[in-house]
Structure 1
Amino acid sequence: MKDIILKAENISKQYRLGQVGTGTLTHDLNRWWHEIRGKENPYLKIGDTNDRSTKGESDYVWALQDINFEVERGEVLGIIGKNGAGKSTLLKILSKVTAPTTGSIKCRGRIASLLEVGTGFNGEMTGRENIFLNGAILGMTKKEITSKIDEIIEFSGCERYIDTPVKRYSSGMTVRLAFAVAAFLEPEILVIDEVLAVGDAEFQKKAIGKMQDISRSGGRTVLFVSHNMAAVETLCTRVMSLREGRIIDSGNPSKVISKYLQESSFSQSKIEFQNEEFSLGNDNIKIIYAAIENASNENKDDIVDVTSEINFRLKIINKTSNENLLVGYDLLTIKGDVVFGSGKKFVCKSNQITNLVCKIPSDFLNDDLYQIYVYCLSDEMRELYSNKDLLTFEVKDVRRETGYLGKINGIVRPKLEWTIE
């Protein structure tokens, strides 16, 4: 039997644009008249999808539509999606900060939320006083909070400032203390929005480790929203992907994240400009051509296969008086992992086109989506220009499409020699 600790049934959330509340007395009376007659709210039948990039035709938008899911005790559920997909709205409903327009939430146990920096903190009170205040809000007794307070202060790293008003804390310190309170006071469900991104790398590592501990050893449930896909993949046991207020995918973290990133990425394996005026770059470097080209003799088409030799071609114009440049790039997976970096010093004549080619060997890259992060440095190693997503391209495994069923793990898949001795 599943031990379900949280269940969302037919959750939808509608907002009215432009004003706070329903907007007019007429709308309120119309809702009331339908309600006393036992009829459905008339404004539930109207409203646009929550697409922030389009104007729309209605004053109402659906931030969430027909959300249904269950969370088991001890599960770490990651929620991903673009800005405006409905992630924060869903967490606010789960945390009872706001009510759904339709549907219901059923949960068993206390919910602790970290939705925004400083949520639930009183800026005039000290860090120590806020620990007791937050603990009381979560339903803890003073005795329970006192037994945990030393651990909370130590984990937060704010011991020196613990008796200073929170209004004097930096955003990072506030998040440290808020997370420590939520984690150490042991709620049954911990809800965390993107707030951990405010902390430094050391704190993020500690926080992820703590969330893993409370879910695995403590049997507590974590709902985690983040744009850091590496953190989501490391921490979560299941991932749910939202788009325009709807659940579009749910399941294995690696598969859901890979599909989300591929659908979100704008694949551009070639850029070309006819003249310098409209090219990429700045006052130091102009890029008039960049491309990933299949250089294999066997595959002349546009598909880059794992067995293909690849040419990364770059045509630049050096606009500086220094002709000695270091040109290089990092090859990244779509999740942001660095596969390798490569660079070399060249003599690039001022105001002339320099055509550079870097060969990536065949039987080296695995089937995946990759990005090129290019940079140009001066002879003194001063950055002249960089572009973090110059090109995006896909490497395919044609053999899998033609009957080869195996999937080789790893970022790279070199063709290594095997022999029997």
Structure 2
Amino acid sequence: MPDPTPLIARLNASDSDFNARLDALLEWDSVSDSKVGGIVDEILHAVKTRGDAAVVEYTNRLDRRDVREASELLVPVSELDRALKAIPADQRQALETAAERIRGYHARQRQESWEYTEADGTRLGQKITAMNRVGLYVPGGKASYPSSVLMNAIPAKVAGVAELVMVVPAPDGQLNDMVLAAAAVAGVDKVITIGGAQAVAALAYGTETLPKVDKIVGPGNIFVATAKRAVFGLVDIDMIAGPSEILVICDGQTDPDWIAMDLFSQAEHDEQAQSILISPDAEFLGKVEAAMERLLPTLERADIARTSLANRGALIQVADMKQALAVSNRVAPEHLELSVADPEALLPEVQHAGAIFMGRYTPEALGDYCAGPNHVLPTSGTARFSSPLGVYDFQKRSSIIHCSAQGASELARTASVLARGEALEAHARSAEYRILKD
């Protein structure tokens, strides 16, 4: 007997219960598990107070290692070069091509210091400097996420970060050559084989062997995300990322197989990933659903994708493109595909999206790997106020104020009034000392 459960939900934006159903679809609990939080707090405290010894202890226990000294966790630079030479030629070429495109795109984001001089000689400006040291978390073991290495490391190096420290777990002592090769291509300065909350703690607090960093970036599991949230403030972090998501707006003229596979490209990530298609063409939505039913069994990660689609996926019928954009802006998706004849016409109405993929020939998968823009994007509606990872995330801005005697005298009169209005006498008198006597 065939399974009566639909592969993916069908919604209509004109239905009276649409808003409630969409809210339920978008709901996702972030890092808030109290049990996980307790374990992470214990690990953070242990690393903060016992340093290397705690890092080695947790690494041996959780990653099934047999390490005696923290120095054994360091990967020699020569090992990165070996990995780059060892991987197949096509993989090396792909890494180098992607790195070149990512570097070229992010070079345009680099900000420079600036200043201007007022008529009285007062100089005002902004000094732009890079962070000294950044930590990059990369999932490890048998998994291979070289694209994550490139996307996180290259903007940091373009920004001018002096030292980039990559942490990557090595369960049972296994490391992935593609990840190490990507580290070589991206210019990572130091690689340490630790993972989990203990790696975040080591980066945030520093140990006898491992350097304290200014910022931690990169994806990880719930323990990593919880630890990053806990150390935020002591160090900066990139974001607390939710499940990956895609929203496709289609006019009904793109090949249904293409759209089906675009939706799968997110659904195969994990069971919590989200894939949404919006179209005013009900018949087209049916064609896409049929294509999904036919193509899903051909995927290696079909079971994961099926669960994701059943739990959080949707095909949404709208009245027109105006309503499609209204729904999209409400979702504020991580990835937005405008699979329409004239995407430029829709672009001005897009208010919230991590990355926007224009036209029928720009699948989100190209952005994941090699288009150039960063694939570290705001999720779970945070595109309403957050932006993709970029060079600017690794640069700091310091204000420059250099008053001339005349300029200080004029400013002091204003500062004095405001300071006394706040009952801060020392502020006022400090300013008043600079007022030129007639």
Q: TM-score, normalised by structure 2?
A: 0.23
Q: Which has the higher strand share?
A: 1
TM-score between the two structures when normalised by the length of structure 1: 0.23
Higher helix share: 2
